[in-house]
Each structure stands twice: as C-alpha cells, then as structure tokens.
Structure 1
C-alpha cells in the first residue's frame, strides 16, 4: 500500500431507513447517504470536502471516526481496515484520529470544568500517566490554542467561555493525544464572523507544527480555498470531482462544481459566471442512483447520462472528474 496515503476509502456505502406516516401504517424508505464513495487523503495534507447540505459529508466523517457503522465498503487508515476491527482494536486506534464537531455549544459537557473535559481523553488512552503529568498536558494543550495563561481558563465551565473560546477548547481536546488525523466538520459555521479567521489560522498552525493530516468539511468555497491543499466535491454521496484547490477553483470541470463556484460569495477570489448558476432542485437522497447522480439538474446532460454511471477519470495529474460530458464542457469554456 502507498505509504504517502494515510486514509483510503473504497466503495463506501451507507443506507438509512426512513419511516413516515401514521404509527399503524408506517411506510419505510431507504435513504442513500453515501454511495460507493472512493477517496484518498495523503499524509500531511488538508483535504476539503464541499457540497450542499444532505450530500453525505458529515455522514462520511462519522463513519470514518467509527461513530457510525457503514452499510458496506472499506476504510483503510494507517494500513488498517477500520471496518474489520473489533471494539478493542478500534479503541486503540482512536488515539490516532480525532474529530472537531460543528457546534461547540453541544460538544462540551456544560457540567464539567475545562480541566476535566481535557483530562477525559488522557484518562481513556494514557492511564499510565500520573495525575500531575496529565495536568501538565492539559495546560500545554490550552496554551497551544492561544488561551493564555492556561490558569485563567482551566477551572472554568463552558458557559463561562465565548463561542470562539469553546471551539478552541474542542480543538484542544482533539489534539491533546497528538493524533495523526483530524476530521473538522464545519468548525467555524456556528461562530461569529469576527472569530472565524482566528480558528482557521489556528488549525493551519497546528497542522504545520504537529504534521497533522486533516479532512476539512465545509459548504463555503472561500473557506475551502484558504484552508485546503486539495478539494473533493461531493454530490448525493459520491465524489464528482477532486483535485488541487487552485485547479478546482479556477478551472472547475464538473457542471456541479462550476455551479458551486458561480454562486460563491467572495468575489475577490472568484469570478461568477451566470451560465452555471445551480438549476432548480435539491439533493434527492431517496432515489437510487441510476446513471449520473447530477443528471436531473445538469444543463449538459445527454442520453447516456440517464443510464450509465460515470467514473472518476484522471484529466491530468491529480485532477479527477466524474462526468460523461466533461470533454464538451472543456471545449465550450476554453
């Protein structure tokens, strides 16, 4: 296996059963959250996952973190298939992979002090350490997230912190075990605009200092362009385009990626092209995919798009797209 790749996802699928209707006449329907997803994350990089709400971004991250079980597929992490590990084996590997959740208000126990919150991972995974050594690690973690001096924060409760400070504590909890990999699920979306830049810069600094590999989930292309080395575009549980950030932003090939770029808010980074504004409709996760998942909303669809599923094709080194019509699209925009 290629040692330059830390995470390799193969054929990942996740189905949910949705129940509706009155209790005595319930109807069930399958929801296709992740559909035959294939993805690689290289060591030391930040890979951005972008897409609309409901496309499967968070579900993918939760399955990777073993917070949710897949329906089928493989997740190789540091040369081990997480899907085949026992509970005890999974617990051992959790030290190497951590997650930063979206809402710092929900992820910190309001009844625990910061010192106790940060001590929990150490109590679970580094039981051999003395209480004093654990306490020192807690102080170091707090100061590493720019909350100084640590003594001013260590005995506070979450409600005594601001939203930005709470998220910094959540980040400290994620890095205190010195993991190899962190999945950050829209870590700034619940924060005031004034503090978002500080959190993003903190994550970039930690990635550099600790040599972290990260998966950064977002729906904001401007944030992804600032944070990520590569971007993977997700639609209806599938990766439809993946490549270097500059290539995805400046020369998107898949019609869905073009639509996302055309409606981005920050026009200092991107030029909007009205031809590619997203069509009417939403991600339909209740429909089993036959052909291209984007066919119902695509302005370039052809007959084969309705019946033949496109595969990720390597356009050039590191830039892959899943679209039958990408050659015609490139010719029209070149």
Structure 2
C-alpha cells in the first residue's frame, strides 16, 4: 500500500531584493533564496533537509509554516494549497503544523513562566477547554518530554533552566496541540554535545507515540543519518539530490552530496575507500547562475554544465539527482 502524501511543495520560489551601494546611487540586486523547489513528505516519515548555510533550508521551512510569503509556487497540506488560504483560514491550519526553532534562548519569552508559555497555544486554539483542563494538559506535556515532576518546572522562568531543558520546553510548546506535522530547524545545533542525543531521541520517541510527520533541517549529515527516513540535499535554493537515507549516505551521486558525505568522519566507517573532497568557495545566492548552480565548484564539470540547468532525474528506488554527469561519476566510483 502506497504511503499517503501529507505535504507537497511544487515549484516553490522565494526572491528577496537587496539594495547595495551609496544612498544616492543604490543598486537593486535579486537574491534567490529558494529556486523552484519540489518536495513530497509522506505521512509518518522524517524528511531531512541538508546543505550549507545560505542554501535555503530555513527559508523553505518558514514558507511551509506560513511565517513567510512565497514569491511563487504551491504548498499543499492535507489537500489544501496553503498559499491560497486567507489569514483566518491559515490560523485554523496552524494547530496542525508547528515549528521547533534553532535557538531556545531566543524563542522563549524570558518574562513568562513555563506554565504561561505552554498555555499560550491552548489559549489560542482550545478556548472551549476549561482552565483546569488546560493546566492538566500542560503538566502531562511537560512530563512527556522527560521533565519530571512537572510542578518543579512549570513555575520557573526560561533563564532558570539549562539549554537542554529550554529546548525540551520549546518542543513541548510545539507538540502540546497534538499537531500532524512539525518542522524542526536545527533543534540541536545550539546545544552542548552531551545533551544533543537526548533531544534527538526525544523527537524520535514523540514521533512514534504521536504519529508525527517531520521536516528535519540540519547541516550535519551524521545527525540526519540518525534521524531521517529520507534526505533531500539543497544547494543554492535547489534540491540537487534526494532519496532514502541509506542510499544517500552509502551511494551519493551528486558531486555536492559526495563532498558533504566525505568530510563527515562519523560516516566514513560505512564506506570503504572514501576520499575526502574539500570544496572551494561558498554559496552565493546573489549571483544569477546560468546552467548548473554547482558548476563553479564542481570537479566533474563539462561544457554542457555551463549552459543547461540539469533537472532532477530518477535513478530508481526513490533516488533523484540533478546532475548532467551523474552516469560518469557513478562509473568512476563503482
């Protein structure tokens, strides 16, 4: 039986306008943060979005969560195009879609107690529920994220918690409305290494218990390999490769994906004879690219790469790649 598609993104684009130069002679520059992204997220799965800083991961998530308006494209959730909904219609959908942000220091109001922070979503979306029932739900949610007993934490302020505890409260705020979908934007990158595993295991446990579907954004491939069922690799606002996690890690096909995998030492024991590939340069979203967006950094470039933009092609078993040279690369590495 085929899995049900919960989220579908079609031809999604986001363009910003950047002004440069002196005040009386400003030049307008277009910044292509997200450029024609197409994605499907199946119900119950965790899709990882990986790539360098500036590749468009967070911008894609913010548009999906309706925190930012797209330039063009479609975002389908439960057979509704979110881009066509009014503000009041969008407010109803927000209960089913929640986001966990990167920095728990910035996302929790320092002047509010944990009880008040977790009551806010209930006050907004479950007004018909009695105050005492909402208090009880806050207690149950705090204990579900392994902060026990709840009474020891719910009357504290964020600064009285550790970084890991703060992020657990941010997760509690996301799941207290029992959503169907969560976008987690690098939820462990601001935490000490010693507490990261606990947060990742908590997310996996909540996924199993609540049947959650997730978009997991990270620049860390080893974290993505632990968390995700499938991985989509972003470069300069585009998806350049996607597929099952095991396939992406063990048989990366796009030169950019190969470079990402090669420098993560935690993954190297999976693959014998793995060469280290160090890329020069960085993502430049202000430069309008003709042909392949990766061509200036690619060691396998051909003349076609400079003039024709590659399309995502299926290699079978759900593995897609956007590269003119993928056949030659696979032959050289096989």
The residue aligned with 2:193 is 193
The residue aligned with 2:320 is 320
Deviating more after overlay: 3-12 vs 195-204: 3-12
1:273/1:237 CA distance change after superposition, 3 Å = farther
Q: 2:262·2:268 contact (CA, 8 Å) conserved in 1? A: no
Q: 1:102·1:187 contact (CA, 8 Å) conserved in 2? A: yes
1:27 is displaced (CA, Å) by 2.0
The residue aligned with 2:81 is 81
SS in 2 for 1:105: helix
CA distance in 1, matches of 2:293, 2:250: 24
CA distance in 1, matches of 2:284, 2:169: 36
Matched, 1:14 2:24: no
Q: 1:264·1:272 contact (CA, 8 Å) conserved in 2? A: no
1:277 is displaced (CA, Å) by 1.0
Matched, 1:39 2:39: yes
Matched, 1:115 2:115: yes
Matched, 1:284 2:284: yes
> Equivalences for 1:175-254 in 2 at 5 Å?
175-254=175-254
CA distance in 1, matches of 2:173, 2:136: 14
Deviating more after overlay: 286-295 vs 147-156: 286-295
1:270 is displaced (CA, Å) by 4.4
> Equivalences for 1:300-311 in 2 at 5 Å?
300-311=300-311
The residue aligned with 1:94 is 94
1:101/1:154 CA distance change after superposition, 3 Å = same
Structure 1 runs (4+) deviating above 6 angstroms are none
Please provide the CA RMSD for this pair. 1.4
Q: 2:222·2:267 contact (CA, 8 Å) conserved in 1? A: no
The residue aligned with 2:159 is 159
Runs of at least 5 residues in structure 2 that lack an aligned partner in the other structure = none
CA distance in 1, matches of 2:111, 2:282: 40
The residue aligned with 1:124 is 124
The residue aligned with 1:150 is 150
For residues 73-116 of structure 1, give each alpha carbon's deviation from its aligned partner in whole angstroms, at most 9, with x where no partner exists. 00001110010000000000000000000000000000000000
1:273 is displaced (CA, Å) by 6.2
1:13 is displaced (CA, Å) by 0.3
CA distance in 2, matches of 1:25, 1:265: 48
The residue aligned with 2:299 is 299
SS in 2 for 1:11: strand
The residue aligned with 1:24 is 24
1:22 is displaced (CA, Å) by 2.6
| TM-score normalised over the length of structure 1 | 0.97
CA distance in 2, matches of 1:124, 1:97: 14
1:278 is displaced (CA, Å) by 3.1
1:157 is displaced (CA, Å) by 0.3
Q: 1:264·1:270 contact (CA, 8 Å) conserved in 2? A: no
Q: 2:268·2:274 contact (CA, 8 Å) conserved in 1? A: no
SS in 1 for 2:62: helix
1:19 is displaced (CA, Å) by 1.7
Runs of at least 5 residues in structure 1 that lack an aligned partner in the other structure = none
SS in 1 for 2:300: coil
| TM-score normalised over the length of structure 2 | 0.97
1:279 is displaced (CA, Å) by 2.4
Deviating more after overlay: 301-310 vs 251-260: 301-310
SS in 2 for 1:127: coil
For residues 259-284 of structure 1, give each alpha carbon's deviation from its aligned partner in whole angstroms, at most 9, with x where no partner exists. 00111132565458675513211111
The residue aligned with 1:260 is 260
The residue aligned with 2:55 is 55
